[in-house]
Chains A and B, each alone.
Chain A
Amino acid sequence: MKGERIIRGVVASVGVAIGKAVRTFDPLFVSFNFKLRPDQVRKEIERFRGSVEKSREQLKRMQAELKRKTGPESSFLIDAHLLVLQDRLFVDRIIEKIETDSINAEWAIQQVSDDLFQAYDRLNDEYLRERRGDLDDIVRRLLHNLRSKPAPSFKKFPYDAILVGKLVPPSTLFELRAQRIVGLATETGSPLSHTAIMARSLEIPAIVGAPELAEVASGDLLIVDSERGVVIWSPSDETLTKYNSRERDVKKLKKKPGDSAAPSITEDRIPISLGANINFSEEVRPAVSLGCESIGLYRTEFDFFREGKQPDEESLLADYSFVLKSAKGAPVTFRTIDVGIDQKSWDGVNMNLGVRGLRFCLENTDIFKKQLRSLYRASVNGPTRILLPFVSSVDDLDTAHQILADVRR
């Protein structure tokens, strides 16, 4: 049993959380490491084999195209990738890990590839050390293809889960908001990131920029203490008792009614209009009940960047109507989809840094129109405003006005 360890980081969202670490794998292909129930092992191996098969088909297609365009010379690069996919040292060992350790495919891939990466790093040959890049590529492909079939227990988080990873995208935090996430701790990131904003609005204590978290594994006990700016890794019983009693005190404090719902008027009687920015529909009701007179802006993109199916017009209509009804007459400003640089990539969309804000919508008019139609239809439920983010030219604005006019008709 290793001793308690204090890991320093930057506070992104205040509070204290005690729970078990759930590691995410990679900022681009977010996945979680967890133990399987005995009856899930078979299916998990099938899921992994499916991902290998899919990867093989993709590489074969790529190879055929390369051969057509450049001749046989460069297609040997793909050969190497294909051969890794049938390599016993790789594939069989991953399956063995899933079986003997009862862990999900993502975790097994991580363990086996980490071992191999270490072996590569020990080589004295610079050229060969570079080959780890090929392996890295394969690993990413496999993880990506695993995502098309979500793991059976993706939705089953341990109680009091603390998300740990290099970087956790805001959409992931959003997708998991209904789960029992009590804290967040990331190796990189800043308190200014959208993830940090999301953590604050979900009231999840969060520490970011703590590289030492790299060694923390799924299942490890953690305390995220954003008052001290530290994560305590495998805390001693003594520390746990201290924190547990403190947590009870905080809960008692929270139950006392505050004066946050008092009118926002200065001492010399000047009223100040108070609005709230929100990320998702459930936040409107508490904001209004605490005295907000308007919703300054509602960030709408999270609906589009979550796992699984894209929202259809009806589900957006329901969401926006719910927001407007919850606002009880307070004006709501809806910001149309803004793709920030910390957003996950969108299926089939080229995420160049230049394509964000309004320009994204203009390049994806189907999605834009769908969103606008839902907004206009929902607007019968209360005062509705539309904000177009990151307008970079008059032309873009003209085009947007044209689309708005089309939709209204």
Chain B
Amino acid sequence: MREREVVIGHRLGLHARAAARLVQLSSQFQSSIVLFRSDSVNSVEADARSILSILLLSAGFGSRVSVRAHGIDEDDAVNSICEYLTG
């Protein structure tokens, strides 16, 4: 399992377009990938392949999000997703 925290660098946050790209990006990997807000105590986990759950994270510009992946390509998955999220 790999986990890394990033700060959302997209000006509008994880909104429709960014969320859609994130889902498409996550779908290229085999690992299971979840996101959660590390700046909130009771954040729910969002499935990185579910656009609805990502939108419901309501992660705006500057919010801290953790990416956790589990599977054969977990390193690549976490790296490229974090790179994308920092903008």
Contact = CB atoms under 8 A, between A and B. Distances in A.
A88 B47 CA distance: 9
Interface in A97-154: 116, 119-120, 123-125, 127-128, 131, 134-135
B58 A125 contact: yes
Interface stretch (B2-10, B11-19, B69-77, B79-87): B11-19
A88 B49 contact: yes
A84 interface: yes
Given A124-B58, A127-B15, A76 B20 contact: yes
A90 interface: yes
A83 B27 CA distance: 11
A124 B60 CA distance: 11
Interface in B19-51: 19-21, 23-24, 47, 49-51
B50 A89 contact: yes
A387 B34 CA distance: 66
A227 interface: no
A68 B83 CA distance: 30
Contacts of A84: 51-52
A135 B58 contact: no
B1 interface: no
Interface size classification for chain A: 20 to 34
Contacts of A124: 58
A83 B47 contact: no
Main secondary structure of the interface of B (DSSP, over half): helix
B52 A79 contact: no
Contacts of A88: 47, 49-50
A80 B56 CA distance: 14
Contacts of A131: 15-16, 55
B53 interface: yes
A84 B56 CA distance: 13
Given A89-B47, A125-B58, 16 more contacts: A76-B16, A76-B17, A76-B21, A79-B20, A80-B20, A83-B20, A84-B51, A87-B49, A87-B50, A89-B50, A90-B50, A116-B52, A125-B13, A128-B55, A128-B58, A134-B16
A120 B53 CA distance: 10
28 contacts: A76-B16, A76-B17, A79-B17, A79-B24, A80-B17, A80-B19, A80-B20, A80-B51, A83-B20, A83-B23, A84-B51, A87-B50, A87-B52, A87-B53, A90-B52, A116-B52, A120-B55, A120-B56, A124-B58, A125-B13, A125-B58, A125-B60, A127-B12, A127-B15, A128-B15, A128-B55, A128-B58, A131-B55
B10 to A, nearest CB: 12
Interface of B: 12-13, 15-17, 19-21, 23-24, 47, 49-53, 55-56, 58, 60
Contacts of B52: 84, 87, 89-90, 116, 135
Q: Across chains A and B, which 9 residue pairs bring their CB atoms closest together, nearest first?
A: A83-B51, A79-B20, A89-B50, A89-B52, A87-B50, A80-B20, A76-B17, A80-B16, A123-B58
Interface string A57-88: 00000000000000000001101100110011
A51 to B, nearest CB: 18
B28 to A, nearest CB: 14
A123 B60 CA distance: 12
Nearest to B44: A119
Nearest to A73: B17
Contacts of B55: 120, 128, 131
Contacts of A134: 16
A120 B56 CA distance: 7
Contacts of A135: 52
A79 B23 CA distance: 10
B21 to A, nearest CB: 8
Interface in A355-394: none
Contacts of A87: 49-53
